[in-house]
Amino acid sequence: MASSPPKLRTVITANERLLNLKRTFEEKYGEAPLLYAYAPGRVNLIGEHIDYCGYSVLPMAIEQNILAAVSHNNSGTISLSNTNPQYKDFSVSCSEDIFIDRENPKWYYYFLCGVKGIQEKFGIAQLAGMSCVVDGTIPPSSGLSSSSALVCCAGLVTMEANQKSLSKVELAEICAKSERYIGTEGGGMDQSISFLAENGTAKLIEFQPLRATDVRLPDGAVFVISNCCREMNKAASSHYNIRVVECRIATKMLAKARGLDPSGLLKLAQVQTELKASLEEMLALVDEVLHPEAYSREEICKALGISAEQFSAELLSANTQHLTSFKLHQRAKHVYSEAARVLRFKSVCESAGADSIRTLGDLMSESHASCRDLYECSCPELDQLVDICLKSGAVGSRLTGAGWGGCAVSMVPSEKAESFLLAVRESYFLPDPRRAAMENQSLFVSKPGGGAAILLEE
């Protein structure tokens, strides 16, 4: 059963981090903040690169988050500052159109995505002025969704500053849509879990309509996040959008082969719905219709009966116009098999049988193999790390998030957690001085945390 979304406001007792942020805010703006808001990062346990294909995913929020201190005013300006001096101050006039530079994804553009989402939702001609200091504890470019947390936090404080009211589901949908201004065609998982997460439970996130259902993780195991220390900024490369485009083309090719009108179909899940087929049947269809060799533009245009111009305008995104070959069989195979693994993961969690932990671990490892071999979104460092995690006592391990760098998530029997951490530290982090220097932020146990909220001081 889908649970009702948790509350958007939480009363808290100020902790050290909040007091430090308050002090920074006061030094910067000469006044106290009016409110605080936070939005968490996430770790995806299973269901990678399938949200934008219309399939459910299974993430949980992590404890690391974006925390913002904010005041509203009539200055006619939005002023942004970050406690990390690496991220420079920025301000923009409320009467200017919000411009987001895709070529140059600076930290504050993510904030502006959230602001723009709220502005458009309500058609606000003149936004309220805001002063804001942001403090982040999610390691950036690590696949733990620091950018979406920033978009979500910005959406939340902009809603508040402009005296509007939205549900968490609406906020998640707005922020998922508005983050696309940065140029990546994300699927909505990150923003959804950032808003809809609840303490103590992972969530099955379903789309259209968006809803989140509790998934109780089995007792007797912990989830450990480890960063391979290769950074991946998905907005600064085209890897991510290339996969979105390949899935879109595969959708149309499968639809056309089965006599459906491909023009309205954009996601692999839509073909399954139209054909009323099971995921197993979809996997068989992929083998029957698509060949494993890469497709050229010409072959796709011919099969779909479209011109080269239509192909570029309707199927490719701005940063994928250069592509000449497309792997469709492998990508579709990954998506349909991963969608099945998510459903199986959820049902194994529900059954809580004697073998649950082993089965869940196997599903995670199968997911990694599919990401590595079929979806090609891993990298040598991640593969090495996943290998080390399995040798160090994990029952399952996989890359998490977009991939091509960033983190792995491992399921480890609780009694082995300590020896696991020591072994991974010794085999992966200590031998390399750069990794060793990052270790304290790069290897930790994570429990399902709560979702984004406005914080009111007690």
Which residues bind to ligand GLA, rule: CB under 6 A? Answer: 44, 48-49, 51-52, 145, 186-190, 401-402
Q: How many residues does the chain have?
A: 458
Kindly state the smallest distance separating residue 244's Cβ from ligand GLA, in Å. Answer: 8
Kindly state the smallest distance separating residue 341's Cβ from ligand GLA, in Å. Answer: 13
What Cα–Cα distance (Å) separates residue 442 from each residue in 64, 138, 388, 413?
12, 10, 15, 20
Q: Specify the residue, 373 or 457, whose C-beta has the smaller distance to ligand GLA.
A: 373
Token couple for 279: 């995921």
140 cis-preceded (ω within 30 degrees of 0): no
Kindly state the smallest distance separating residue 380's Cβ from ligand GLA, in Å. Answer: 19
d(CA 55, CA 49): 9
Q: Of 83, 87, 91, 102, whose CA–CA distance to 127 is shortest? A: 91
With 0-12 / 13-18 / 19 or more C-beta atoms within 10 angstroms meaning exposed / middle / buried, residue 308 is exposed
Instruction: Tell me whether strands 129-136 and 77-82 are parallel, antiparallel or unpaired.
Output: parallel
Q: Specify the residue, 177 or 416, whose C-beta has the smaller distance to ligand GLA.
A: 177
Q: Specify the residue, 239 or 358, whose C-beta has the smaller distance to ligand GLA.
A: 239
d(CA 119, CA 71): 18
Which amino acid, one-letter code, is at 238?
A: S
Kindly state the smallest distance separating residue 398's Cβ from ligand GLA, in Å. Answer: 11
What DSSP element (H or E) covers 59? Answer: strand 58-73
Q: Is 190 a catalytic residue?
A: yes
Q: Specify the residue, 69 or 205, whose C-beta has the smaller distance to ligand GLA.
A: 205
Contact criterion met (CB below 8 Å) for 331 and 246 = yes
The catalytic position among 190, 214, 219, 373 is 190
Q: Specify the residue, 148 or 359, whose C-beta has the smaller distance to ligand GLA.
A: 148
157: CB partners within 8 A, 6+ apart: 35, 37, 68, 70, 130, 132, 454
CA triple 184-187-191, angle to 5 deg: 95
Q: Of 156, 130, 126, 160, whose CA–CA distance to 33 is shortest? A: 130
- Residue 353 CA neighbour count, 13 Å, CB half: 10
Q: Specify the residue, 201 or 233, whose C-beta has the smaller distance to ligand GLA.
A: 233
Q: Specify the residue, 179 or 439, whose C-beta has the smaller distance to ligand GLA.
A: 179
d(CA 452, CA 49): 23
d(CA 100, CA 114): 11
Kindly state the smallest distance separating residue 402's Cβ from ligand GLA, in Å. Answer: 4
d(CA 155, CA 176): 10
Q: Specify the residue, 209 or 431, whose C-beta has the smaller distance to ligand GLA.
A: 209
With 0-12 / 13-18 / 19 or more C-beta atoms within 10 angstroms meaning exposed / middle / buried, residue 420 is buried
For tokens 């200017």, the residue is 96
- Residues forming the active site: 190
